[in-house]
Structure 1
Protein backbone atom coordinates (compact mmCIF):
# COMPACT_ATOMS: atom_id res chain seq x y z
CA UNK A 1 0.00 0.00 0.00
CA UNK A 2 2.84 2.37 0.86
CA UNK A 3 4.48 1.75 -2.52
CA UNK A 4 1.23 2.56 -4.31
CA UNK A 5 0.89 5.77 -2.28
CA UNK A 6 4.47 6.84 -3.11
CA UNK A 7 3.93 6.05 -6.78
CA UNK A 8 0.81 8.26 -6.87
CA UNK A 9 2.75 11.11 -5.25
CA UNK A 10 5.63 10.78 -7.73
CA UNK A 11 3.26 10.60 -10.68
CA UNK A 12 1.49 13.76 -9.51
CA UNK A 13 4.80 15.61 -9.13
CA UNK A 14 6.02 14.48 -12.56
CA UNK A 15 2.77 15.49 -14.25
CA UNK A 16 2.96 18.91 -12.64
CA UNK A 17 6.57 19.34 -13.70
CA UNK A 18 5.92 18.40 -17.29
CA UNK A 19 2.92 20.68 -17.76
CA UNK A 20 4.18 23.80 -15.97
CA UNK A 21 5.09 26.57 -18.43
CA UNK A 22 7.45 29.45 -17.85
CA UNK A 23 7.10 32.88 -19.40
CA UNK A 24 7.58 32.93 -23.16
CA UNK A 25 11.16 33.63 -24.24
CA UNK A 26 11.22 36.72 -26.44
CA UNK A 27 14.96 37.23 -26.78
CA UNK A 28 17.06 34.33 -25.45
CA UNK A 29 20.30 35.22 -23.72
CA UNK A 30 23.36 33.28 -24.83
CA UNK A 31 25.69 33.08 -27.81
CA UNK A 32 26.08 31.55 -31.26
CA UNK A 33 29.23 29.60 -32.06
CA UNK A 34 30.07 29.14 -35.73
CA UNK A 35 33.52 28.06 -36.86
CA UNK A 36 36.06 29.85 -34.65
CA UNK A 37 33.75 32.72 -33.76
CA UNK A 38 31.33 33.47 -30.93
CA UNK A 39 28.50 35.98 -31.12
CA UNK A 40 27.22 36.87 -27.62
CA UNK A 41 23.56 37.87 -27.48
CA UNK A 42 21.86 40.17 -25.03
CA UNK A 43 19.28 42.76 -25.90
CA UNK A 44 19.81 41.89 -29.58
CA UNK A 45 17.16 40.99 -32.15
CA UNK A 46 17.24 37.19 -31.94
CA UNK A 47 15.48 36.65 -35.28
CA UNK A 48 18.11 38.69 -37.10
CA UNK A 49 20.91 36.81 -35.34
CA UNK A 50 19.37 33.50 -36.41
CA UNK A 51 19.34 34.71 -40.00
CA UNK A 52 22.95 35.89 -39.77
CA UNK A 53 24.35 32.78 -38.06
CA UNK A 54 22.11 30.22 -39.83
CA UNK A 55 21.69 31.57 -43.37
CA UNK A 56 20.86 28.10 -44.76
CA UNK A 57 18.60 26.50 -42.14
CA UNK A 58 17.63 23.61 -44.41
CA UNK A 59 21.27 22.46 -44.41
CA UNK A 60 22.28 23.45 -40.88
CA UNK A 61 23.01 21.05 -38.04
CA UNK A 62 22.09 22.83 -34.82
CA UNK A 63 23.38 22.08 -31.33
CA UNK A 64 21.88 23.63 -28.21
CA UNK A 65 24.37 23.61 -25.33
CA UNK A 66 23.05 23.59 -21.77
CA UNK A 67 25.44 24.74 -19.05
CA UNK A 68 25.78 23.41 -15.49
CA UNK A 69 23.53 24.49 -12.65
CA UNK A 70 26.31 26.32 -10.83
CA UNK A 71 26.14 28.73 -13.78
CA UNK A 72 22.40 29.28 -13.50
CA UNK A 73 20.23 31.96 -11.99
CA UNK A 74 18.71 35.34 -12.67
CA UNK A 75 21.26 37.90 -13.78
CA UNK A 76 23.65 35.07 -14.58
CA UNK A 77 26.75 35.88 -16.63
CA UNK A 78 27.48 33.09 -19.07
CA UNK A 79 30.78 32.56 -20.81
CA UNK A 80 30.25 30.81 -24.16
CA UNK A 81 34.00 30.15 -24.41
CA UNK A 82 33.41 27.55 -21.69
CA UNK A 83 31.57 25.23 -24.08
CA UNK A 84 33.30 21.81 -23.88
CA UNK A 85 36.17 21.52 -26.33
CA UNK A 86 34.69 18.55 -28.23
CA UNK A 87 31.62 20.64 -29.14
CA UNK A 88 33.73 23.59 -30.21
CA UNK A 89 35.85 21.21 -32.30
CA UNK A 90 32.77 20.02 -34.18
CA UNK A 91 31.76 23.50 -35.33
CA UNK A 92 35.36 24.31 -36.26
CA UNK A 93 35.75 21.15 -38.33
CA UNK A 94 32.39 20.88 -40.08
CA UNK A 95 30.57 23.38 -42.26
CA UNK A 96 26.88 24.13 -41.70
CA UNK A 97 27.16 23.34 -37.99
CA UNK A 98 26.24 25.88 -35.33
CA UNK A 99 25.97 25.89 -31.55
CA UNK A 100 23.58 28.05 -29.61
CA UNK A 101 24.76 28.40 -26.02
CA UNK A 102 21.62 28.94 -23.98
CA UNK A 103 22.38 30.98 -20.88
CA UNK A 104 19.45 29.82 -18.77
CA UNK A 105 18.00 32.21 -16.23
CA UNK A 106 15.80 29.61 -14.54
CA UNK A 107 16.08 28.98 -10.79
CA UNK A 108 14.58 26.25 -8.64
CA UNK A 109 11.56 26.67 -6.43
CA UNK A 110 11.20 25.20 -2.95
CA UNK A 111 9.25 22.07 -3.89
CA UNK A 112 10.78 19.03 -5.64
CA UNK A 113 8.43 19.62 -8.55
CA UNK A 114 9.86 23.12 -9.06
CA UNK A 115 13.36 22.00 -9.95
CA UNK A 116 15.15 24.27 -12.41
CA UNK A 117 15.75 21.22 -14.62
CA UNK A 118 12.04 21.01 -15.40
CA UNK A 119 11.77 24.76 -15.90
CA UNK A 120 14.75 24.68 -18.26
CA UNK A 121 13.07 21.90 -20.25
CA UNK A 122 10.16 24.26 -20.92
CA UNK A 123 12.66 26.98 -21.78
CA UNK A 124 14.23 24.61 -24.32
CA UNK A 125 10.85 23.76 -25.83
CA UNK A 126 10.10 27.42 -26.53
CA UNK A 127 13.59 28.02 -27.90
CA UNK A 128 13.49 25.01 -30.22
CA UNK A 129 10.16 26.17 -31.58
CA UNK A 130 11.81 29.42 -32.67
CA UNK A 131 14.59 27.59 -34.49
CA UNK A 132 12.00 25.34 -36.14
CA UNK A 133 10.09 28.39 -37.41
CA UNK A 134 13.38 29.67 -38.81
CA UNK A 135 13.69 26.44 -40.81
CA UNK A 136 15.98 24.20 -38.74
CA UNK A 137 14.20 20.86 -38.64
CA UNK A 138 14.16 18.62 -35.54
CA UNK A 139 16.00 15.85 -37.41
CA UNK A 140 19.03 18.16 -37.65
CA UNK A 141 18.81 19.45 -34.08
CA UNK A 142 20.75 17.98 -31.14
CA UNK A 143 20.97 18.84 -27.47
CA UNK A 144 24.27 18.99 -25.60
CA UNK A 145 24.73 19.44 -21.88
CA UNK A 146 27.08 19.07 -18.96
CA UNK A 147 26.34 18.50 -15.27
CA UNK A 148 23.06 20.31 -14.49
CA UNK A 149 22.73 21.07 -18.20
CA UNK A 150 22.96 17.33 -18.85
CA UNK A 151 20.20 16.73 -16.29
CA UNK A 152 18.10 19.35 -18.07
CA UNK A 153 18.66 17.67 -21.43
CA UNK A 154 17.58 14.29 -20.07
CA UNK A 155 14.35 15.83 -18.77
CA UNK A 156 13.78 17.38 -22.19
CA UNK A 157 14.21 13.94 -23.77
CA UNK A 158 11.18 12.86 -21.76
CA UNK A 159 9.18 16.07 -22.15
CA UNK A 160 9.73 17.08 -25.78
CA UNK A 161 11.19 14.10 -27.71
CA UNK A 162 9.77 15.30 -31.04
CA UNK A 163 11.63 18.62 -30.87
CA UNK A 164 15.12 17.25 -31.57
CA UNK A 165 16.95 14.22 -32.95
CA UNK A 166 19.24 13.08 -30.14
CA UNK A 167 21.49 14.20 -27.32
CA UNK A 168 25.07 14.02 -26.05
CA UNK A 169 25.53 14.80 -22.36
CA UNK A 170 28.24 14.46 -19.74
CA UNK A 171 28.23 14.09 -15.94
CA UNK A 172 24.50 14.45 -15.27
CA UNK A 173 23.19 14.22 -11.72
CA UNK A 174 22.19 16.17 -8.65
CA UNK A 175 25.63 16.78 -7.16
CA UNK A 176 24.98 14.86 -3.95
CA UNK A 177 28.64 14.43 -3.15
CA UNK A 178 29.15 18.14 -3.78
CA UNK A 179 26.49 19.03 -1.23
CA UNK A 180 27.87 16.54 1.28
CA UNK A 181 24.75 14.37 1.13
CA UNK A 182 23.58 11.36 -0.83
CA UNK A 183 20.61 10.58 -3.01
CA UNK A 184 19.16 8.58 -0.11
CA UNK A 185 19.09 11.57 2.26
CA UNK A 186 15.68 12.72 3.50
CA UNK A 187 16.15 16.19 2.01
CA UNK A 188 17.40 15.17 -1.43
CA UNK A 189 15.70 11.84 -2.04
CA UNK A 190 12.41 13.36 -3.37
CA UNK A 191 14.32 15.47 -5.92
CA UNK A 192 16.39 12.55 -7.10
CA UNK A 193 13.44 10.15 -7.35
CA UNK A 194 11.35 12.58 -9.40
CA UNK A 195 14.29 13.32 -11.71
CA UNK A 196 15.05 9.60 -12.11
CA UNK A 197 11.40 8.64 -12.67
CA UNK A 198 11.03 11.32 -15.34
CA UNK A 199 14.18 10.27 -17.20
CA UNK A 200 12.97 6.67 -17.18
CA UNK A 201 10.03 7.88 -19.26
CA UNK A 202 12.43 9.12 -21.95
CA UNK A 203 12.25 5.94 -24.00
CA UNK A 204 11.70 7.53 -27.42
CA UNK A 205 14.82 9.63 -27.81
CA UNK A 206 18.29 8.02 -28.10
CA UNK A 207 21.41 9.63 -26.74
CA UNK A 208 24.93 9.28 -25.38
CA UNK A 209 25.54 9.77 -21.65
CA UNK A 210 29.13 10.11 -20.43
CA UNK A 211 30.04 9.65 -16.77
CA UNK A 212 33.47 9.64 -15.16
CA UNK A 213 34.96 7.54 -12.40
CA UNK A 214 36.18 9.76 -9.59
CA UNK A 215 33.69 12.54 -10.38
CA UNK A 216 32.77 13.82 -6.92
CA UNK A 217 30.00 16.12 -8.15
CA UNK A 218 28.11 13.68 -10.37
CA UNK A 219 29.04 10.12 -9.26
CA UNK A 220 28.43 7.53 -12.00
CA UNK A 221 26.59 5.39 -9.44
CA UNK A 222 23.67 7.83 -9.60
CA UNK A 223 23.13 6.71 -13.20
CA UNK A 224 23.00 2.94 -12.64
CA UNK A 225 19.33 2.89 -13.63
CA UNK A 226 20.29 3.96 -17.17
CA UNK A 227 21.95 0.61 -17.81
CA UNK A 228 18.46 -0.84 -18.36
CA UNK A 229 17.38 1.92 -20.75
CA UNK A 230 17.70 0.71 -24.34
CA UNK A 231 17.66 4.19 -25.85
CA UNK A 232 20.58 5.45 -23.75
CA UNK A 233 24.19 4.50 -24.34
CA UNK A 234 25.84 4.94 -20.93
CA UNK A 235 29.60 5.39 -21.23
CA UNK A 236 31.38 5.29 -17.85
CA UNK A 237 34.99 6.27 -18.43
CA UNK A 238 38.14 6.35 -16.32
CA UNK A 239 39.73 9.73 -17.07
CA UNK A 240 43.31 9.74 -18.29
CA UNK A 241 46.02 11.98 -16.89
CA UNK A 242 45.42 14.79 -19.33
CA UNK A 243 45.91 18.03 -17.44
CA UNK A 244 42.44 17.98 -15.82
CA UNK A 245 42.57 17.65 -12.03
CA UNK A 246 38.78 17.80 -11.58
CA UNK A 247 37.29 14.73 -13.28
CA UNK A 248 33.92 16.48 -13.43
CA UNK A 249 35.46 18.70 -16.10
CA UNK A 250 36.93 15.88 -18.20
CA UNK A 251 34.95 16.82 -21.37
CA UNK A 252 37.18 19.92 -21.58
CA UNK A 253 40.34 17.83 -21.77
CA UNK A 254 42.45 17.24 -24.85
CA UNK A 255 42.16 13.47 -24.33
CA UNK A 256 38.37 13.50 -24.39
CA UNK A 257 38.28 15.82 -27.40
CA UNK A 258 40.69 13.75 -29.48
CA UNK A 259 39.14 10.37 -28.68
CA UNK A 260 35.44 11.14 -28.43
CA UNK A 261 34.81 13.90 -31.00
CA UNK A 262 35.01 11.52 -34.01
CA UNK A 263 32.66 9.07 -32.26
CA UNK A 264 30.20 11.82 -31.39
CA UNK A 265 30.22 13.16 -34.94
CA UNK A 266 29.65 9.64 -36.26
CA UNK A 267 26.68 9.28 -33.91
CA UNK A 268 25.24 12.58 -35.17
CA UNK A 269 25.56 11.54 -38.80
CA UNK A 270 24.00 8.17 -38.02
CA UNK A 271 21.03 9.78 -36.31
CA UNK A 272 20.44 12.18 -39.21
CA UNK A 273 20.59 9.30 -41.68
CA UNK A 274 18.03 7.31 -39.70
CA UNK A 275 15.59 10.21 -39.49
CA UNK A 276 15.94 11.01 -43.17
CA UNK A 277 15.27 7.38 -44.15
CA UNK A 278 12.19 7.28 -41.93
CA UNK A 279 10.92 10.51 -43.47
CA UNK A 280 11.52 9.14 -46.97
CA UNK A 281 9.71 5.89 -46.21
CA UNK A 282 6.72 7.72 -44.77
CA UNK A 283 6.28 9.73 -47.98
CA UNK A 284 6.58 6.73 -50.32
Structure 2
Protein backbone atom coordinates (compact mmCIF):
# COMPACT_ATOMS: atom_id res chain seq x y z
CA UNK A 1 0.00 0.00 0.00
CA UNK A 2 2.87 2.40 0.81
CA UNK A 3 4.08 2.35 -2.78
CA UNK A 4 0.94 4.22 -3.86
CA UNK A 5 1.39 7.16 -1.54
CA UNK A 6 2.39 10.36 -3.29
CA UNK A 7 3.08 8.73 -6.64
CA UNK A 8 0.91 11.14 -8.60
CA UNK A 9 2.65 14.14 -7.11
CA UNK A 10 5.30 13.15 -9.65
CA UNK A 11 3.43 11.39 -12.43
CA UNK A 12 -0.22 12.19 -13.01
CA UNK A 13 -2.43 15.07 -14.15
CA UNK A 14 -4.96 13.61 -11.75
CA UNK A 15 -6.81 15.82 -9.30
CA UNK A 16 -8.99 14.76 -6.41
CA UNK A 17 -11.17 17.14 -4.47
CA UNK A 18 -14.64 17.97 -3.19
CA UNK A 19 -15.32 20.94 -5.46
CA UNK A 20 -18.54 20.67 -7.44
CA UNK A 21 -18.05 19.58 -11.05
CA UNK A 22 -19.77 17.65 -13.82
CA UNK A 23 -19.12 13.92 -13.50
CA UNK A 24 -20.04 11.08 -15.78
CA UNK A 25 -19.39 7.95 -13.70
CA UNK A 26 -19.16 6.71 -10.14
CA UNK A 27 -16.16 4.77 -8.90
CA UNK A 28 -16.28 2.61 -5.79
CA UNK A 29 -12.99 2.09 -3.95
CA UNK A 30 -11.91 -0.03 -1.02
CA UNK A 31 -8.71 -0.45 0.95
CA UNK A 32 -7.91 -4.07 0.08
CA UNK A 33 -8.60 -4.16 -3.67
CA UNK A 34 -7.11 -2.21 -6.57
CA UNK A 35 -9.44 -0.47 -9.01
CA UNK A 36 -8.04 -0.11 -12.55
CA UNK A 37 -8.94 2.65 -15.02
CA UNK A 38 -7.91 2.09 -18.64
CA UNK A 39 -7.87 5.33 -20.68
CA UNK A 40 -7.58 5.74 -24.48
CA UNK A 41 -4.44 7.89 -24.03
CA UNK A 42 -1.62 8.34 -21.53
CA UNK A 43 -2.43 10.00 -18.21
CA UNK A 44 -0.58 13.32 -17.95
CA UNK A 45 1.48 14.50 -14.92
CA UNK A 46 -0.07 16.46 -12.03
CA UNK A 47 -0.79 15.81 -8.35
CA UNK A 48 -3.47 14.62 -5.98
CA UNK A 49 -5.54 17.08 -4.00
CA UNK A 50 -6.83 14.58 -1.42
CA UNK A 51 -5.28 11.95 0.81
CA UNK A 52 -8.43 9.82 0.66
CA UNK A 53 -7.41 8.20 -2.64
CA UNK A 54 -4.11 6.56 -3.56
CA UNK A 55 -3.24 6.54 -7.26
CA UNK A 56 -0.43 5.24 -9.42
CA UNK A 57 0.16 4.87 -13.15
CA UNK A 58 1.12 1.44 -14.44
CA UNK A 59 4.92 1.39 -14.97
CA UNK A 60 4.79 0.08 -18.55
CA UNK A 61 1.36 1.38 -19.61
CA UNK A 62 0.88 5.10 -19.13
CA UNK A 63 -2.79 4.92 -20.05
CA UNK A 64 -3.60 2.72 -17.03
CA UNK A 65 -4.30 4.23 -13.62
CA UNK A 66 -4.51 2.19 -10.39
CA UNK A 67 -6.66 3.46 -7.50
CA UNK A 68 -7.20 2.43 -3.87
CA UNK A 69 -8.86 3.92 -0.82
CA UNK A 70 -6.32 5.29 1.63
CA UNK A 71 -8.72 4.97 4.56
CA UNK A 72 -11.98 3.12 5.06
CA UNK A 73 -15.23 5.05 4.99
CA UNK A 74 -13.96 8.27 3.39
CA UNK A 75 -16.50 10.91 2.40
CA UNK A 76 -17.71 11.23 -1.20
CA UNK A 77 -15.16 13.03 -3.37
CA UNK A 78 -14.36 13.43 -7.05
CA UNK A 79 -11.51 12.49 -9.37
CA UNK A 80 -10.41 14.42 -12.48
CA UNK A 81 -8.01 12.96 -15.03
CA UNK A 82 -6.44 14.74 -18.01
CA UNK A 83 -4.89 12.59 -20.72
CA UNK A 84 -2.17 13.24 -23.31
CA UNK A 85 -4.71 13.81 -26.08
CA UNK A 86 -6.08 16.81 -24.18
CA UNK A 87 -9.25 15.12 -22.90
CA UNK A 88 -10.65 15.60 -19.42
CA UNK A 89 -12.52 12.92 -17.46
CA UNK A 90 -14.29 13.40 -14.12
CA UNK A 91 -15.66 10.83 -11.69
CA UNK A 92 -17.59 10.72 -8.43
CA UNK A 93 -15.66 8.52 -5.97
CA UNK A 94 -17.31 6.62 -3.11
CA UNK A 95 -16.03 4.19 -0.51
CA UNK A 96 -17.44 0.66 -0.70
CA UNK A 97 -15.96 -2.25 1.23
CA UNK A 98 -17.21 -4.66 -1.48
CA UNK A 99 -17.08 -2.81 -4.84
CA UNK A 100 -19.09 -4.48 -7.60
CA UNK A 101 -16.59 -3.45 -10.27
CA UNK A 102 -12.80 -3.01 -10.18
CA UNK A 103 -11.91 -2.52 -13.87
CA UNK A 104 -13.20 0.41 -15.94
CA UNK A 105 -12.47 0.84 -19.66
CA UNK A 106 -12.80 4.55 -20.34
CA UNK A 107 -13.77 5.57 -23.89
CA UNK A 108 -12.94 8.95 -25.45
CA UNK A 109 -16.63 9.93 -25.93
CA UNK A 110 -16.91 9.86 -22.14
CA UNK A 111 -14.63 12.89 -21.82
CA UNK A 112 -16.41 15.98 -20.53
CA UNK A 113 -14.69 18.34 -23.00
CA UNK A 114 -14.71 18.56 -26.78
CA UNK A 115 -11.71 20.86 -27.16
CA UNK A 116 -8.22 19.81 -26.15
CA UNK A 117 -6.90 20.93 -22.78
CA UNK A 118 -3.92 23.28 -23.02
CA UNK A 119 -0.72 22.10 -21.29
CA UNK A 120 0.67 25.61 -20.81
CA UNK A 121 1.09 28.74 -22.86
CA UNK A 122 2.53 27.96 -26.27
CA UNK A 123 3.09 24.26 -25.52
CA UNK A 124 1.74 21.48 -27.69
CA UNK A 125 0.23 18.40 -26.11
CA UNK A 126 1.70 15.00 -27.09
CA UNK A 127 -1.32 13.90 -29.12
CA UNK A 128 -1.11 17.02 -31.30
CA UNK A 129 2.64 16.53 -31.77
CA UNK A 130 2.06 12.97 -32.96
CA UNK A 131 -0.73 14.03 -35.30
CA UNK A 132 1.39 16.78 -36.90
CA UNK A 133 4.40 14.46 -37.22
CA UNK A 134 2.28 11.97 -39.16
CA UNK A 135 0.94 14.73 -41.44
CA UNK A 136 4.46 15.96 -42.20
CA UNK A 137 5.36 12.55 -43.62
CA UNK A 138 3.42 13.70 -46.68
CA UNK A 139 5.06 17.13 -46.96
CA UNK A 140 6.99 17.86 -50.15
CA UNK A 141 10.70 18.55 -49.97
CA UNK A 142 11.52 22.12 -48.94
CA UNK A 143 15.15 21.83 -47.76
CA UNK A 144 18.07 21.20 -50.14
CA UNK A 145 21.77 20.70 -49.63
CA UNK A 146 21.75 18.51 -46.51
CA UNK A 147 22.49 14.98 -47.70
CA UNK A 148 24.96 12.09 -47.44
CA UNK A 149 25.48 9.08 -49.75
CA UNK A 150 27.23 5.81 -48.99
CA UNK A 151 26.91 2.34 -50.47
CA UNK A 152 23.85 3.21 -52.57
CA UNK A 153 22.08 4.67 -49.53
CA UNK A 154 21.16 8.33 -49.54
CA UNK A 155 19.96 10.28 -46.50
CA UNK A 156 18.41 13.72 -46.94
CA UNK A 157 16.99 16.31 -44.55
CA UNK A 158 14.00 17.22 -46.68
CA UNK A 159 12.14 19.56 -44.35
CA UNK A 160 12.43 21.54 -41.11
CA UNK A 161 9.20 22.89 -39.61
CA UNK A 162 8.09 24.78 -36.51
CA UNK A 163 4.86 24.97 -34.52
CA UNK A 164 4.54 26.38 -31.02
CA UNK A 165 7.31 24.87 -28.87
CA UNK A 166 8.26 22.05 -31.26
CA UNK A 167 10.71 21.80 -34.16
CA UNK A 168 9.95 19.03 -36.68
CA UNK A 169 12.65 17.46 -38.85
CA UNK A 170 11.74 15.40 -41.93
CA UNK A 171 14.34 12.78 -42.87
CA UNK A 172 14.21 10.88 -46.17
CA UNK A 173 16.18 7.69 -46.89
CA UNK A 174 16.61 6.13 -50.33
CA UNK A 175 18.06 2.67 -50.90
CA UNK A 176 19.01 1.97 -54.54
CA UNK A 177 20.95 -1.19 -53.65
CA UNK A 178 19.66 -4.76 -53.73
CA UNK A 179 20.28 -5.19 -49.98
CA UNK A 180 17.88 -4.05 -47.27
CA UNK A 181 19.15 -1.21 -45.10
CA UNK A 182 18.41 -2.12 -41.47
CA UNK A 183 18.78 0.85 -39.17
CA UNK A 184 20.61 0.21 -35.91
CA UNK A 185 20.29 3.77 -34.59
CA UNK A 186 19.51 7.35 -35.50
CA UNK A 187 21.26 9.77 -33.16
CA UNK A 188 20.94 13.52 -32.88
CA UNK A 189 23.43 15.82 -31.19
CA UNK A 190 24.90 19.31 -31.14
CA UNK A 191 28.67 19.23 -31.66
CA UNK A 192 31.57 21.59 -32.17
CA UNK A 193 32.23 22.44 -35.82
CA UNK A 194 35.98 22.26 -35.35
CA UNK A 195 37.86 20.25 -32.77
CA UNK A 196 41.34 21.44 -31.85
CA UNK A 197 44.07 18.84 -31.45
CA UNK A 198 44.31 17.37 -27.94
CA UNK A 199 40.88 18.77 -27.13
CA UNK A 200 37.88 16.57 -26.39
CA UNK A 201 34.82 17.17 -28.55
CA UNK A 202 31.90 18.89 -26.85
CA UNK A 203 28.71 16.99 -27.66
CA UNK A 204 25.14 17.33 -26.39
CA UNK A 205 22.72 14.56 -27.29
CA UNK A 206 19.27 15.66 -28.48
CA UNK A 207 16.35 13.29 -27.99
CA UNK A 208 13.14 13.63 -30.02
CA UNK A 209 9.90 13.93 -28.07
CA UNK A 210 7.93 12.29 -30.87
CA UNK A 211 8.70 10.13 -33.92
CA UNK A 212 6.57 9.15 -36.91
CA UNK A 213 7.18 7.08 -40.03
CA UNK A 214 9.72 4.40 -40.90
CA UNK A 215 12.96 4.57 -38.93
CA UNK A 216 13.69 0.83 -38.80
CA UNK A 217 14.30 -0.57 -42.29
CA UNK A 218 14.56 0.69 -45.87
CA UNK A 219 13.95 -2.22 -48.18
CA UNK A 220 16.07 -2.78 -51.29
CA UNK A 221 15.24 -0.38 -54.13
CA UNK A 222 12.79 1.61 -52.05
CA UNK A 223 12.60 4.74 -49.92
CA UNK A 224 11.32 5.76 -46.50
CA UNK A 225 10.42 8.94 -44.65
CA UNK A 226 10.50 9.68 -40.91
CA UNK A 227 9.66 12.79 -38.91
CA UNK A 228 11.26 13.66 -35.57
CA UNK A 229 9.92 16.34 -33.22
CA UNK A 230 12.20 18.19 -30.79
CA UNK A 231 11.75 20.93 -28.26
CA UNK A 232 12.62 24.02 -30.31
CA UNK A 233 16.26 25.08 -30.29
CA UNK A 234 18.86 27.07 -32.18
CA UNK A 235 22.56 26.32 -32.58
CA UNK A 236 25.52 28.43 -31.34
CA UNK A 237 27.79 29.77 -34.10
CA UNK A 238 30.63 27.35 -33.39
CA UNK A 239 28.43 24.26 -33.38
CA UNK A 240 26.31 22.12 -35.73
CA UNK A 241 23.32 19.83 -35.36
CA UNK A 242 24.51 16.34 -36.31
CA UNK A 243 22.37 13.39 -37.44
CA UNK A 244 24.09 9.99 -37.35
CA UNK A 245 22.49 6.92 -38.92
CA UNK A 246 24.02 3.51 -38.27
CA UNK A 247 23.41 0.33 -40.24
CA UNK A 248 22.80 -2.82 -38.19
CA UNK A 249 25.40 -5.45 -39.10
CA UNK A 250 26.88 -3.26 -41.83
CA UNK A 251 29.15 -0.37 -42.60
CA UNK A 252 26.90 2.04 -44.47
CA UNK A 253 26.88 4.65 -41.72
CA UNK A 254 25.66 8.12 -42.61
CA UNK A 255 26.11 11.56 -41.09
CA UNK A 256 24.33 14.82 -41.88
CA UNK A 257 25.25 18.27 -40.62
CA UNK A 258 22.51 20.87 -40.12
CA UNK A 259 23.55 24.51 -39.75
CA UNK A 260 21.88 27.15 -37.64
CA UNK A 261 20.61 28.99 -40.72
CA UNK A 262 18.63 25.88 -41.65
CA UNK A 263 17.04 25.83 -38.20
CA UNK A 264 16.09 29.50 -38.05
CA UNK A 265 14.47 29.25 -41.50
CA UNK A 266 12.13 26.48 -40.33
CA UNK A 267 8.78 26.66 -42.13
CA UNK A 268 5.70 27.23 -39.95
CA UNK A 269 3.49 24.14 -40.08
CA UNK A 270 0.40 26.30 -40.45
CA UNK A 271 1.69 27.62 -43.80
CA UNK A 272 1.85 24.14 -45.35
CA UNK A 273 -0.72 22.57 -47.58
CA UNK A 274 -0.60 18.84 -46.98
CA UNK A 275 -2.98 16.25 -48.26
CA UNK A 276 -4.48 14.24 -45.40
TM-score of the pair, normalised by structure 1: 0.24
* The structure with more helix, counted as a fraction of residues: 1
Q: In terms of Rg, which structure is larger?
A: 2
* The structure with more strand, counted as a fraction of residues: 2
**Structure number with higher relative contact order (C-alpha < 8 Å, ≥ 6 residues apart):** 1
TM-score of the pair, normalised by structure 2: 0.25
